[in-house]
Structure 1
Amino acid sequence: MRTEVLILDHEPEIYAEALGPLFPEVTFHTATEPEAALPLGREAEVLVALAHAVSAEQLAAMPRLRWVAALSTGVDHLLAQPGLRPEVVVTNGRGIHGPQMSEMAFLYMISLLRDFPAMLANQRAHRWQRWPQRLLLNKTVVLLGIGAISEELARRCQAFGMRVLGVSDARTEAPGFDAVLPRARLEEAAAQADVLVALVPLTESTRHMVSRAVIAAMKPGAILLNLARGPVVDEAALIEALQEGRLGGAGLDVFEVEPLPDASPLWDMPNVIVTPRVGGMSDVYAHQALPLMEENLRLFLAGDMARLRNLVQRQGERG
């Protein structure tokens, strides 16, 4: 009996065309829109999609589903779906986002330190204005959370001559880091930061981890970047610190409410860069995800579910 796989993505044909010749025993169904995917999953045992694209309706339309291969790292939206049956295994895309997330962090850092938004405004106004250019050289960057993305970013920061501090309870050292402090010393780390980057997943313990106290501990003119999840940062405290001029700026790809409400003052702050949750995106995303997908599909077809890479522990599971 053939195995059926449903791929819901904006470029599903890339996965199907690459994996089809490798797995002749598998039938791949592809869809670019959720509505088109609904009738295709009746016999599918595998669903490949970004976690936030998987709806309760989609899960209900797949009675034979055994594995959701989430292409994204964060799967909180998926795990919250009431239609996700306990026996369905979930994996995520952890480990493939380092390049694009690191480049987004550098986009923020260089733009904010050099006040590039003001340069663009001056260009539009045909205004010739010069000011000293702040460098990344010898600046201290604090990375909150140490994982695959942070390790990629740390190496790049060191290449720019930056001092790299990490904050983690799971690690005491890591490649590319000059030092690692426990979460209990986050305020101490924040006080040293020229740039603080939030990269932790959203859990009850990380909600508002970048608290009012942490923001208050940051040195005047420091920059805060949130590439994690919106609620990791106390957004109200951040807005207050920016309005009072205590922080030098912020680069924000995620927010407590998304899309960011039109009334949010963050939209109009000259020292804030707002991006619409694009940090994990890339023009080669499917090619980045394919090696992981191929490896896990081989294990799935062999019945070796326990060895799937990036298994997500569901609530109530022990491991």
Structure 2
Amino acid sequence: MPIMVMDRGLHIDAGEVRKAFPQETVRDARDAAEALGVCADCEVLVAMAHDVTDELVGAMPRLKYICAMSAGTDRLDTLKNLKADVRITSGRGIHGPQMSELAFLGMIALSREFPRMQQNQRARRWERWPQKLLFGKTVLLVGIGPIAEELALRCEAFGLRVLGVSDARKEAPHFAALYPRSRLKEAAALADFMIVLVPLSDKTRHMIDAEVLAAMKPTGIIVNLARGPVIDEQALIKALQEKRIGGAALDVFETEPPVEDNPLWDMPNVIITPRIGGMSDVYAQQVLPLVVHNLRCFLDGRPSEMKNILRG
């Protein structure tokens, strides 16, 4: 069964897939444009979901299975040429370490005003001020899945009180309390830090709106590692401009990259990262065992044993 491994050299080594399945034909391409020339007979596509194009799936008439290496697969829902019977699995469950570390980068940098320190360094200015600690503060994780579970463990180790928002669960390890989404504003009012982790859907689009932001403490910091449209960006900009919240660390945006005149670029209490939350220097080692497991189950005719089945 021909397998197409499409990656830009950042997430997986096609050679490792060949080693795991020497009896199969494994083709590789750096991107969708390159894959178009060699994908016609492939029945399996291994790729990051956001790199899969409508043109590519349309050029794969025998496609039976997409093994997405990313946790978020909402891009696949927009593809008109993707047949309904194509099985899809995700890379859910491997991103806890890198997402957690980026969350801490945002929390610590904004709490300690690290951008101000960098400006002072460039200006050779020696300025000291009391340093705000994470210890003893409250963090609210909006969306409780594998990433939140790993992040909660790390937050607890830093001495943070961990709260969560989820309609799917009533308790989870390392959380002091969980709230349903209907009590999001109540939970937001308790948080020194609010970290957004929910996937994007019709129900979560602009879930963090003006009312939720208004419920936060004036010193509260929001970290978005989910999808840009989960937060009402215009409401966030207004809250930051009016200093009704303390700051924001944003890895995702409604438009990516943000347009040049987006006010977020120039705000001193905002840290912008270019959608790097899921990336790591060991991604290949993280994702390869999951990819190999799911491919083996699929090729052996054991689809029920595959992990992270989204469809099919």
Q: Which TM-score applies when normalising by structure 2?
A: 0.97
Task: Name the SS of the counterpart of 1:40 in structure 2.
Answer: coil
Question: What's the offset of the Cα at 1:161?
Answer: 0.2
1:87 aligned counterpart, secondary structure: coil
Residue by residue over 1:154-200, the C-alpha shift from the partner in whole angstroms, topping out at 9 and shown as x without a partner, is: 00000000000010010111111111111111111000000001100
When residues 77 and 221 of structure 1 are mapped into structure 2, their CA distance, relative to the original with a 3 A threshold, is: same
Q: Render the CA deviation track for 1:232-257: whole Å, top value 9, x for unaligned.
A: 11111111111011111000011111
Native 8 Å contact 2:12 2:287 kept in 1: no
Highest RCO, 1 vs 2 (Cα 8 Å, sep ≥ 6): 2
- Equivalent position amino acid for 1:59 in 2: V
Once residues 166 and 48 of structure 2 are traced to their aligned partners in structure 1, the CA distance between those partners, rounded to angstroms, is 27
Cα offset, 1:16, TM superposition = 2.5
Match of 1:134 in 2: 132
Tell me the matched-pair count.
312
Q: Which amino acid aligns with 1:25?
A: Q
Matched residue of 1:298: which SS?
helix
Query: Are residue 125 (structure 1) and residue 101 (structure 2) matched?
Result: no
Identical aligned pairs, as a percentage? 57
Query: Is 1:13–1:30's contact at 8 Å kept on the other side of the alignment?
Result: no
Query: 1:96, 1:289 within 8 Å by CA — same for their partners in 2?
Result: yes
Letter aligned with residue 68 of structure 2: A
Counting only pairs closer than 5 Å after superposition, residues 273-288 of structure 1 correspond to structure 2 as 273-288=271-286
The reply on whether 1:262 has 2:260 as its aligned counterpart is: yes
Residue 218 of structure 1 and its aligned partner are, at CA, apart by 0.4
Equivalent position SS for 1:26: coil
CA contact (8 A) 2:249 2:271 kept: yes
Match of 2:144 in 1: 146
Distance in 2 between residues matched to 1:238 and 1:33, nearest whole Å: 34
Cα distance in structure 1, aligned partners of 2:43 and 2:11:
18
* Worse overlay, 256-265 or 134-143: 256-265
- SS of 2:37's partner is helix
**Contact 1:12/1:30 (<8 A) preserved:** no
Corresponding position of 2:27: 29
Q: What amino acid is aligned across from residue 19 of structure 1 in structure 2? A: V
How well do the aligned residues superpose, as a CA RMSD in angstroms? 1.3
- Residues 86 and 311, structure 2, Cα contact 8 Å, conserved in 1: no
Shift of the alpha carbon at 1:12? 7.7
Partner of 1:317: none
**Contact between 1:11 and 1:286, CA under 8 Å: does it hold in 2?**
no
- After the TM superposition, which residues 227-246 of structure 1 pair with which residues of structure 2 at under 5 Å, given as runs? 227-246=225-244
Aligned to 1:72: 70
How far 1:302 moved relative to its partner?
A: 1.1
| Counterpart-to-counterpart distance in 2, 1:296 and 1:175 | 28
Aligned residue for 1:20, secondary structure, equals helix
Name stretches of at least 5 consecutive residues in structure 2 with no aligned partner: none
8 Å Cα contact 2:12/2:283 also seen in 1: no
1:205-264 CA-to-partner distances (Å, cap 9, x unmatched) read 111111111100001110011110111111111111110111110000111111111110
Give 4+ residue runs of structure 1 displaced > 6 Å after superposition. none
Structure 1: runs of 5+ lacking an equivalent: 315-319
Alignment partner, residue 176 of structure 1: 174
- Equivalents in 2 of 1:80, 1:303: separation in Å? 28
Matches within 5 A, 1:76-91: 76-91=74-89
| Separation in 1, partners of 2:306, 2:57 | 21
